Amino acid sequence: MRRSPQSRWHGADPATVHDGATLTLAGGRSCRVRPIRGSDRDLKREFLAGLSARARYNRFLGAVRELSPEALDRLVRVDYRSQMALVALAGEGGAERIVGVARYAAAPGSLSCELSVAVADTWQRRGLATMLARQLLEYARLRGYVRVTVSTFADNVPMLRLAQRLGMRPAAGQPSPSIIEMELLLPEVV
């Protein structure tokens, strides 16, 4: 049976109905995870600027110092159907900052989506990437997606390890020797 990537929430915008859940990570740090919002534009820009050059290179599959205003808008204004992003926030009130982002994007009408994850350098190795990715995979599954892929550099060991922890396997027909595509088939919603 083919699934349709339709909302299981009857069109509700998750950014307006979900204010987030608090996660406690290895080492005792905590953060709040919620869907990204258009109002997160400045937080997203600061997050990207705070990533190491290598982390930005791995996330965007190439050298990126700073995103154009249009590209930044595309990252924070998702449609919650063919695109979704979860942000992990640390701090309180006006001092909140993004410390991690997991996102998927799909071509309209596709049952397959591509996953990406980025975590602030000082928040890595605490389980945040895994928690964000698992929550996002569940969201994708509930939205009707049947296949999730990750494309990353062959030397991006942290992302390859994350993909393996999520149960992903190398996809058939790799795009190039320097890029590895991993895939995961999602179970059907019952």
Q: Which tens digit of pLDDT belongs to each residue from 153-165?
A: 888 999 999 999 9
The domains of the chain are located at 21-185
pTM of the model as a whole: 0.83
pLDDT at 18 over 60: no
Q: Which CATH superfamily is domain 21-185 in?
A: Gcn5-related N-acetyltransferase (GNAT) (3.40.630.30)
Q: pLDDT averaged over the chain?
A: 82
Angle at which helices 128-142 and 157-165 pack, to 10 degrees?
50
Q: Which tens digit of pLDDT belongs to each residue from 21-34?
A: 777 777 788 888 99
Cα gap 45→124, rounded to integer Å:
19
